[in-house]
Amino acid sequence: MNGQPPGAAWEVGPLTRRVALPPEAEIAVAVGQPVEPATPLAQVPVAAVPVAVSLSAELGVGPAQVAEYLTIEAGQPVEVGTVLAERAGLLGLQQRTVTAPQAGRVAFVSRDTGTIVIHPRADAGVVSVPALVYGTVPALEETPEPAVVLTAPGLAIAGAWSYGASAWGPLALWDKPDSPVGAEDRSDWEAAVVFRGGAATADLIAAAARHRVAGIVASGSMDLRPGADLHRTTLEAAPAPAIPTLLLYGHLAPTPPDRLLEALRPLAGTTVGIAGADRGGGPELLLTGPAAEALAARVGPPVLAPGRDAVILGGRGAGTVVQVVETTEARLFPSEWRGPAARVAAADGATQWVPLVSLAALPTPRPD
C-alpha cells in the first residue's frame, strides 16, 4: 500500500515523470519514441521489482511512529517471515507483528508514509514496466540509477492511498453508487479502470475482482475489509484488496464531486493509468492524451479561486464539498485567528468563511 498526506492535489500537463529502474533492468524504449499506457519501458527481473509494505497500516499507528517499532534497519538482508516491526498492545495483548513477504534487502523506510521497501534477491523471470501515459520519451538516464523520463499532455490527480501495483485500462465510469454491486452485467468492466461515483467498499472490490477489472478509482479510507467504516480517521491493519485500488480523498470526502464525474465522461473508453506503490512516487491517476489535454485546460492549476470546488479539511463542515465564492487576504475568526480565508457555499446554498489552510481544491472544471 502506498500513501500520501490526505488531500486532492493535481497537476496540469505537460506532465513529466521519471521512472526509476533497478540496475538489472533492460530498457526497451529509445529517446524520442512515442509511448502509450501499455508500452513496456523496460524489462525487469522479477527479483528486481521492489516490494512495498505499509508498516503504518499493519501496526495501526501513524507514519511518524513507525520508527519506534522497527526491528530491522535499511540495508539489512531479510528472509521470508523475518520480523520487520512489532507492536505490543496493552498488557502485551493484541500484539501486531509485520513480517517480510519475500527475501531480499531492506532498501529504505519512509518516515513520511510509514512504508518499508524491500528489494528482493535475484530470481528467474522478468516483468514489464508500463508507461501508463500517452506521451514521449525525451531522455534516458544511466546514473545514479537507470531511468526513463516521460512527458505527456493531460492531467494527474493525486490519490490519498493506493493498494497494489500500477495498472492501466480503458476508463469506465460507474455513476450508480446506490445500486447493488454485481447485480448488473458489468462486461464493460473487464480489463478496465473503473471510476466510481461513490466510495470504495469491500463489496465493490470483490465484485470488481469477479469482473476482472484492471483497477478501481474511488473515494474512501484505508480499511477495505467487509463491514468497515471507510471514513474513519484511525489507522487499522487492512489486507490489500484483490485488485489495484486508488483512493482519491482518504477520509476527507465521501464521494468524488459530481462535476468531476461529469468532466471525465469525454474520457470514457480512453486508456488511463494508475501509478501505484511500485512506481516509487505518490499514488496518482494519470489522464493523458488529446482528450485529457483538453480537460486539463478546462480544469486549470490547483488554485483556490472563486468558482473552484473544494473540500473542507477540518472544523465545521469537515468533509463537505463546497464551491469558493470569494477569497480574502486576511479575515478575523471568532477564535481570534486572522489569516487568508475563503467564503464557500455548500450544495444547499449555505455559506461560511473557512481558512484557506482548511480547504483542499478539487480537480473539477472551472466555470466558464
Give the per-residue pLDDT at 1: 37
Separation between Cα atoms, residue 326 and residue 316, nearest integer Å: 18
Alpha-carbon gap, residue 172 to 106, rounded angstroms:
37
Give the pairing of strands 215-219 and 193-199. parallel
CA distances 22 to 100, 143, 163, 228, Å, are 20, 11, 22, 37
pLDDT at 287: 94
SS3 353: strand
Q: In degrees rounded to 5, what are phi and psi of residue 40?
A: -75, 125
pLDDT value at position 310? 85
Phi and psi at residue 110, to the nearest 5° = -85, 120
Taking every pair of Cα atoms in the chain, the longest distance, rounded to a whole number of angstroms, is 65
Q: Is residue 285 a contact partner of residue 157, using CB atoms and an 8 Å limit?
A: yes
Domains of the chain: 2-14+151-299 (3.50.30), 47-120 (2.40.50), 309-361 (no CATH)
Cell 469506465 -> residue: 172
C-alpha cell at 15: 506532465
Find all residues with CB under 8 Å of 54, minimum gap 6, and list them: 1, 2, 3, 113, 114, 115
> Reading across the β-sheet that carries 154-158, which strands appear in turn?
2-3, 161-163, 245-247, 215-219, 193-199, 167-174, 271-275, 284-288, 154-158, 10-12
In contact, 58 and 106? CB cutoff 8 Å:
no
Amino acid identity, position 16 = T
pLDDT of residue 185: 67
- 327 with 305: CB under 8 angstroms? yes
pLDDT at 158: 81
pLDDT of residue 232: 33
- Per-residue pLDDT tens listing for the chain (368 residues): 333 333 446 888 799 999 988 888 899 999 999 999 999 999 987 766 678 888 887 887 888 888 888 998 888 888 878 889 888 766 555 678 888 887 888 888 887 778 888 887 765 467 889 999 999 999 999 877 899 999 999 999 887 777 778 899 999 988 765 555 554 667 788 899 988 877 777 677 777 777 888 888 887 654 544 433 333 333 333 444 557 777 776 545 555 666 778 888 889 999 999 988 677 777 889 999 999 999 898 888 888 889 888 888 777 887 788 899 999 988 888 887 888 999 999 989 999 999 988 888 888 887 66
